Chains A and B, each alone.
Chain A
Amino acid sequence: MRSVTSRNRNHAPRHPTRGLKGSRPGDGVARYYELYELLSGALNDGTILPGDALPSEPELVARHRLSRTTVRRALARLEEEGRIERRRGSGTFARESHEPTKLCLNLDCLHNDLLALASRTSVALLRFETQSVPAAITELQPQVGARALVIQRVRLFRGAPFQLSTAYVPENVGKLIRKRMLRHASLLSVLDEVGPKTTSAEHITGAVAADATAAKRLDVSLGTPLLRMRIAFRDRKASLRAFCESYFRPDRFHIRAAMERTTARRAKEPWRFRGS
């Protein structure tokens, strides 16, 4: 959380837990990286604005009780990333940020957004076969059945992967799906093409550490935090059309929702998506 670690350079530390004191030797995190992350956060959230000077090297050394080498390494990385500029004799300054374009999924119009996302991105098919379903999946969603069509795909935006999805399609639905249908289209439109329209999506969002497969497919290091979304697509009769598990790179994708409060007096759930 940025607010915990960021430091407003105009103020003395306001909270005793601020700064880098949380790390200890041997805790598995490089010292330079903690300073890098702290400064990176300050540059991202505007605590240090473009054109502003960063604290000097001796200041950083003293404030965080780090060696000069460690401080230099953190600054070198920020410089490599083009986020700061070191001017000889006058100091280090924040550069204009070049935020990468992030993809976004709006929960309040999930179905439309899933279709739109498919049209803006490209996809590579990794697996397409009917096989037995892992026990962990049947436990989550028994309606998938013991055997299902497993479709694994990686989605790319401007050539860079951002989503690894594995869909489990019940056999009776899966037997109608052909490989070629999946070349570009979203799973949702393929499901609609072969049968009754999907009318609802139950979704659960969490986070996981990238395992070897996810790390390889999404081009991240092992253990990188990923956003995980599991969606059960159902038709009007509440039959399962597909159960889909997706891993997203949080630096390239995020989820948004606009909500409003119901005006109904005794609503069980006072909040709903905007527009409903």
Chain B
Amino acid sequence: MAATTNTRTGVTRYLQVYTVLAQALADGSIPAGEALPSEPTLVRNYGVSRTTVRRALARLAAEGSIVRRRGSGTFARGKLERFSSARHLAPLLCELRTQSSRIDVKVLTFERLPTPHRLRRQWPDFGETVLTIRRVGSVRGEPIGLSTTYVPEWAGRELTLRRLGGDPILIALQKLGHRAASGEQETTALAADPLVARHLSAGIGAPLLSVRRLIRDAKGRILEYSNFLFRPDRYELAAVTERGSQRSRAD
């Protein structure tokens, strides 16, 4: 039987059940060795068919996250290597590479391309073309995040793939004499589409942390716009806000 599709998200129901159970197993909500709720309970909790529940459990079993023992139920196995990787905390201004952790950066795109329409519409000073840089950051071969950065022509003219190396974009720009002075950052969550899922080794429809930021120099000129997508099991944003006279600081 074909799985039913939830019309609101386009993700099949079995994949939704799988995503939620995989998350509970990964974050320890269902600890290793503990029994999962029974099939009838899952059917009731999630409002799905028995077939759907079975399909989700079959996939978890195939991936080795659970073991099914005939007659006694389904149990969580020990945390797998891919789940045990430490979570990285990003400082206020997120970067794929931080000083405290070694993140390997792989370049997917480094090209001067026509400026995406939405960027030009919002900030006309981006101009006709932008240097577009797309990179994936990983720790020990496991992807953490995908970034897409747009640098206006005037700022990115002297930037080459070699000069960029594995540096954060802002460091690379600073080496060329373009110093960042202010920024705005927006954070939200979204579902991994098939392409992003592949780059981040995440499931399609899996939740991702999305951070978009715009950086300006002291003269107020746009230095870059970046779009980060992080795997939330591997990366979170952290900060401290102090109260009183509006004082706050990043930590």
Chain B nearest CB, measured from A70 CB (Å): 12
Chain B nearest CB, measured from A1 CB (Å): 5
The answer to the question of A64 belonging to the interface, with a C-beta cut-off of 8 Å to chain B, is: no
CA distance A200 to B118 in the complex (A): 37
Q: Are B118 and A261 in contact (CB under 8 A)?
A: no
Q: Are B10 and A1 in contact (CB under 8 A)?
A: no
Q: Are A223 and B118 in contact (CB under 8 A)?
A: no
CA distance A15 to B181 in the complex (A): 32
Q: Are A3 and B116 in contact (CB under 8 A)?
A: yes
Contact partner of B251 among A6, A27, A269, CB < 8 A? A269
Between-chain CB contacts (< 8 Å), 15 pairs? A8-B114, A28-B11, A28-B14, A32-B10, A46-B118, A112-B246, A203-B239, A223-B17, A223-B205, A225-B191, A225-B206, A259-B92, A261-B180, A269-B251, A276-B248
Chain A nearest CB, measured from B43 CB (Å): 11
Q: Are A22 and B198 in contact (CB under 8 A)?
A: yes
Q: Which residue of B lies closest to A38 (CB)?
A: B193
Q: Are B187 and A255 in contact (CB under 8 A)?
A: yes
Q: Are B240 and A200 in contact (CB under 8 A)?
A: yes
The answer to the question of B45 belonging to the interface, with a C-beta cut-off of 8 Å to chain A, is: yes
Contacts of B240 in A (CB 8 A): 200-203
Chain B interface bracket (under 10, 10 to 19, 20 to 34, 35 or more): 35 or more
The answer to the question of A119 belonging to the interface, with a C-beta cut-off of 8 Å to chain B, is: no
New A-B pairs, 6, CB < 8 Å, besides A108-B246, A200-B240, A203-B238: A30-B10, A202-B238, A209-B207, A212-B45, A250-B188, A272-B250
Contacts of A6 in B (CB 8 A): 116
* A residues in contact (CB < 8 Å) with B: 1-6, 8, 11, 14-15, 17, 20, 22-23, 27-30, 32-34, 36-37, 45-47, 49, 107-112, 136, 197-212, 220-228, 248, 250, 254-261, 269, 271-276
Contacts of B184 in A (CB 8 A): 256-259
Q: Are B187 and A260 in contact (CB under 8 A)?
A: no
Q: Are A209 and B19 in contact (CB under 8 A)?
A: yes
Q: Which residue of A lies closest to B185 (CB)?
A: A257
Chain A nearest CB, measured from B134 CB (Å): 8
Contact partner of B117 among A45, A205, A258, CB < 8 A? A45
The answer to the question of B183 belonging to the interface, with a C-beta cut-off of 8 Å to chain A, is: yes
Contacts of B185 in A (CB 8 A): 256-257, 259
